[in-house]
């Protein structure tokens, strides 16, 4: 009996290795499902945020803040400087929105739980561009805007009123 090959027993042993590997992979499914659900929710939240906040923010800056600062800037060098800055910021808005237009369909699929290959380069470009845009605006344009508009309290009040009216007209009506 000692001459009987043990190959059949070895085959059973190797089957268990594969079964155990698959069971280990199965154990990871709940965590992976949770991560997939979080990604789906983040994709939907990001889509809503761009639509409801970022696009409105860009429009409000361009139609209210930029116009107010341009109208209040002193003619000559200051006005020319403000014009260069607002042109740059407006261009950056369009570039960011163009990047978003490339990414949004991908995030829409992800939000629906569909398989999608996200354009990671475009996503990173959008993040980098927006961070640079916000930093420039915060460091240069907003302080300059405050200086220009605060010279005349009526200009700052007019900006406040314009923003208030704009927000009231955009607010959802009560049901």
Whether 20 is in a domain gets the answer yes
Element housing 134 (H / E): helix 120-136
pLDDT tens, position by position, 118-146: 999 999 999 999 999 999 999 999 999 99
What pLDDT is attached to residue 16?
79
Sign of the alpha-carbon torsion through 90, 91, 95, 98: positive
What pLDDT is attached to residue 20?
87
CATH number of the domain that 72 lies in? 1.20.120
| Burial label, 10 (beta-carbon count in 10 A; 0-12, 13-18, 19+) | exposed
Whether 175 is in a domain gets the answer no
pLDDT tens, position by position, 22-63: 999 999 989 999 999 999 999 999 999 999 999 999 999 999
Domain count, the chain: 1
Question: Where in the sequence is the domain holding 126, given as residue range(s)?
Answer: 8-170
| Burial label, 43 (beta-carbon count in 10 A; 0-12, 13-18, 19+) | buried
What pLDDT is attached to residue 164?
42
What pLDDT is attached to residue 44?
96
Three-state DSSP state, 28: coil
Whether 1 is in a domain gets the answer no
What pLDDT is attached to residue 18?
84
Whether 2 is in a domain gets the answer no
Q: What is the C-alpha to C-alpha distance for residues 164 and 158, in angstroms, rounded to an integer? A: 10
Q: What is the C-alpha to C-alpha distance for residues 111 and 35, in angstroms, rounded to an integer? A: 13
Q: Supply 45's token pair.
A: 């939240």
Whether 97 is in a domain gets the answer yes
Report the share of the chain in percent with pLDDT over 70: 79
């Amino acid at each position: 009996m000692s001459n009987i090959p043990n190959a059949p027993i070895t085959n059973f042993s190797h089957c268990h290795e594969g079964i155990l590997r698959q069971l280990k992979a199965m154990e990871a499914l709940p965590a992976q499902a949770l991560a997939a659900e979080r990604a789906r929710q983040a994709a939907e939240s990001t889509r809503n945020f761009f639509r409801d906040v970022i696009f409105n923010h860009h429009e409000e800056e361009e139609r209210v803040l930029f116009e107010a600062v341009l109208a209040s800037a002193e003619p000559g060098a200051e006005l020319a400087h403000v014009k260069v800055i607002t042109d740059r910021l407006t261009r950056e808005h369009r570039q960011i929105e163009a990047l978003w237009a490339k990414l949004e369909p991908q995030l829409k699929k992800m939000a629906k739980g569909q398989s999608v290959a996200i354009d990671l380069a475009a996503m990173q470009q959008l993040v980098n561009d927006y961070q640079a845009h916000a930093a420039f605006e915060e460091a240069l344009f907003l302080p300059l805007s405050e200086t220009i508009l605060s010279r005349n309290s009526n200009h700052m009040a007019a900006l406040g009123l314009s923003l208030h009216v704009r927000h009231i007209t955009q607010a959802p009506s009560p049901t």
